[in-house]
Amino acid sequence: MTYGPNASVIDGKYYRTLVLINDQLFVGGKAQLFSVDTADLTMLDYVSIPTTVAQTCDYCNNYIRVIHPLLNSSVLLECGTNSKHPYCQQRSIGNLSDVESRFSLSTSESIVPFTHNQNSSGWFLTEDLDLFVGTKLELVAGSLARPAIVKSMLQNDSSQNVVGIEVQLKTKNDASVLSNNGPPHPEFVGDPINYNGHVYFFFREIATEFVNERVVYSRVAVVCQNDTGGRAFSNVLLDTNLATFTKTRLTCFIQGDEPYHYNEIQDIYQSPHDINVIFAVFATRAPGLASSAVCAYRMDDIELLFKESKFTHQESDGMLWTSVNMDPTDPRLVMCPDTSGFSDVEFVAILGNGQILYTADANNLHYENPITSTPSNPLLVIDGERFSQIVVDENVFSSTDVMFIGTENGTVLKAYLNGDRSEARVVEEISLNTNDHVKTPVLTMLLSDSAQAVFVGTDHGIYKIPFQHCQDYATCQSCLDARDPYCSWKNEECVHSGDGLQALEDNCARKMCPDFNADSELMVKTRPSNLFRSLNITNQPLNMYLVAQADVKENLLVVDDEIRCPPCASLPYTEHRSISSSQEFLMLLINGSSTENMNCSCSIVLATECVTKTINFTITADNSPRLNLAAEYMDVLSKYDNDISKYEQKLNKWIQKKYCMQDELNSCERCL
């Protein structure tokens, strides 16, 4: 992992805007814009952009929230909050100090964020310079207001410099469109998605159709690119309102008698290889228990849903929402009809009966297949974490999709789905909490195929996380144990290749390594001795010991919880365990005393995840006559037997203490 930028500009912070242009990473922060080399995050260009307004509010400064390359151009559009007086200006990509135009935006209606932490969607700019964005459109009494999806147009001068942004159409300020009954208020995530002449937005909001309590739903909404608005002088939808808006619920849940829903979408990622595939991360709301999930969807499924699902509506306040039997318009709005001639009666029907679909779109486990599948469990669920961002490197060796997931705890998880998709495996968790910064939430992520890395933005710095670091695995066993889809063992080294030794689905893949040593995997330190049981001594004590050692993660156990001694009965034993930071010790105290009058061939089968060992010993029946000695000789013999027993006990305690000291246990008492 590489951390940046360099120390000379570390005071900038709030690196929430990252854009890749011409293999350079452009970063927007607090009062600064700069570009860095994607190889090592060294600074290439830098410009300071302080606020031009007196700082009289909390977090007043100029936070760069938009960096957007203009179509077929060598310039970018940079927009900042400017102490809640947003602006945009055009800069040269090759020389950030070269400002070609600057213009202010209305403080009463702006598609540029007003504040450093305003949650807006990305921008989708068409070839006709139409601009679609989901945002909070207004600032009322210093607070964000009026959630809206907006269609705007960039205004150019004769030199094709951008000199303004004109808001043309916006969703109607109505609870049936975007619920503003918060908190929480609607929050847009990710970038708008252009698909078959439509623009799709992903967001979360209070569900108006949930009557009994305030519940947040995740949503996907659609508007037509060629939406021309309602009708001039209409009492319902004006020609300044988007008229083709429709939305539905997006679900991500664990199935069961009482399904557990992850209702709050945090981010989306559209596959660049198959534009139908959408990955999304969800998280529970703080301060409740933290839990997160990853789900996947297909745009063709979503498109079909908007074309065919029934709508839902509420007959009157307080009543349950039910399905609508007849579409409010024919054709549907998603078919992009000319709405400029609709009557107010039709507009009323649209707002009342044609805004929300009855059917939700659910997680698609086999998201790569162009078929509508039944709902399934999430691709990945993790408790104790709140996911915030996701990017996906697709079709890694063996057609594996690798997910990089940012969290609010300042970590990035690297995970992939196993072959049958029954579970997702987390390969590693990468902490960004460097330089004494604690819990630096991941705020933005970018994936770069050319750099073979993920770039991460936080309020404290930017980071480069390579897709792989196979070279760090020095042995075949460590290489295969990592179960990293990028890595395989080839020519005596761990390499970024799919041609070498690799077994992602095998927990014991390391057994294939030439240096695999079963004896070091499961070590038996003390074995039971072969003993004689005298048939002429009642209740003769026969105590045996076994001590074994293995790595903690290997789950050392006695197979079937039994010590077999055919043809005799199984032997009882007492089990003691001691665990250090990396090793586990298993000690068995075996009671060989019994009334058996035959020879016994005993075996103990020990097992770890990958190794099984059998320890054999015998108990031979001794039918020789009992010694008839004088009492004083019997006392001497009894004392000798007792001394031997004490010696054996002290020896075993010494052995256990030695193992404790070798493995630096926190307390050796646990071994004794």
pLDDT in tens, 535-549: 877 767 788 899 999
What's the mean per-residue pLDDT of the chain? 88
pLDDT for 233 equals: 87
Calculated CA dihedral for residues 499, 501, 507, 511, nearest 10 degrees = 170
pLDDT for 370 equals: 78
- pLDDT tens, position by position, 358-368: 999 999 888 88
Give mean pLDDT, residues 522-551: 85
pTM for this predicted structure: 0.83
Q: Which residues pair with 201 in a beta bridge?
A: 221
437, pLDDT greater than 70: no
pLDDT for 552 equals: 79
7, pLDDT greater than 60: no
pLDDT for 8 equals: 44
Task: Report d(CA 330, CA 334) in Å as an integer.
Answer: 10
pLDDT for 9 equals: 46
Q: What is the CA radius of gyration of the chain?
A: 34
290, pLDDT greater than 50: yes
CATH 3.30.1680.10 residue spans of the chain: 472-510
Percent of the chain, pLDDT > 90? 60
pLDDT for 243 equals: 95
CB-based burial label for 20 (10 Å; 0-12, 13-18, 19+):
middle
Which of 51-60, 116-125, 194-203 is modeled with the greatest confidence? 194-203
- pLDDT tens, position by position, 453-464: 999 999 888 999
- pLDDT tens, position by position, 480-507: 989 999 999 999 999 998 888 888 877 7
Where is pLDDT greater, at 311 or 652?
Answer: 311
pLDDT for 553 equals: 78
Lowest-confidence segment of 15-24, 93-102, 399-408, 589-598 by average pLDDT? 589-598
Quickly count: other Cβ atoms within 10 Å of residue 178's Cβ: 27
CB-based burial label for 102 (10 Å; 0-12, 13-18, 19+):
middle
With bands split at pLDDT 50, 70 and 90, how would you rate the model's confidence at 669? very low
- pLDDT tens, position by position, 209-260: 888 888 999 999 999 999 999 998 889 999 999 999 999 999 999 999 999 9
3-state secondary structure of 243: coil
Extract the runs of DSSP E, i.e. beta strands, from 256-306. Answer: 260-261, 265-270, 277-283, 291-298
DSSP letter at 657 equals H
Structural fold of domain 520-671: Immunoglobulin-like (2.60.40)
661, pLDDT greater than 90: no
672, pLDDT greater than 50: no
- pLDDT tens, position by position, 343-392: 999 999 999 999 999 999 999 888 888 765 677 899 999 999 999 999 99
Helices then strands, counting H and E runs in the chain, come out as 5, 45
666, pLDDT greater than 50: no
- pLDDT tens, position by position, 308-346: 999 999 988 888 899 998 999 999 999 999 998 899 999
Task: Report d(CA 528, CA 558) in Å as an integer.
Answer: 15
3-state secondary structure of 201: strand
CATH superfamily, with its number, for domain 472-510: ligand-binding face of the semaphorins, domain 2 (3.30.1680.10)
Give mean pLDDT, residues 576-600: 86
CATH 2.60.40.10 residue spans of the chain: 520-671
Calculated CA dihedral for residues 514, 518, 521, 522, nearest 10 degrees = 180
